[in-house]
Structure 1
C-alpha cells in the first residue's frame, strides 16, 4: 500500500505527522510504517485517520502491485 495521498492531504490542510501524534489519532510507529511504506496498518488506525480527517480510505491510500 502507498500512503502518499495521506501526506499530500495533510500538507494541503496545513497539517503534519506531528499533528496526528499530538491529537492521538495514530501512534508514531504507525505513522513511520505509513511514511516508509513498510508493514501492515490495522483497520482501527485507518478508521481513526478517516474519522479525524473526514475522508474515505481511498483518499489516504492506494494499492500498488509490487
Structure 2
C-alpha cells in the first residue's frame, strides 16, 4: 500500500493547497485528490514539480507500507 504524506510535508513547510497548486500548475481539485490519497496514479512530472516547490524528495511524500 502506498500512503501519500503530502499533507504532512505541506504543513511542515506552511504551504497552502492553493499556493502549491499554482506553483505546480495543476488544479486545486487534482492536488486535493492527490493529498488525500484518492488518486491511483501520479505523473513523474507532477511529482517532480511538487518536490521542487516543496524542496523535498519523493520519499518524503510517498511511503510504502506492507499490508501484512
| TM-score, normalisation: structure 2 | 0.73
Q: Show the counterpart of 1:55.
A: 56
Runs of 4+ more than 3 Å apart:
none
- Match status 1:10 vs 2:21: no
C-alpha RMSD of the superposition: 1.9
TM-score (structure 1 length as normaliser): 0.74
Q: Which has the larger radius of gyration?
A: 2
More strand by share: 2
Do the aligned residues in 1 keep the contact of 2:13 with 2:54 (CA within 8 Å)? no
Gap runs ≥5 in structure 2: none
Conserved in 2, the CA contact under 8 Å of 1:26 and 1:49?
no
Structure 1: segments with no counterpart, 5+ residues: none
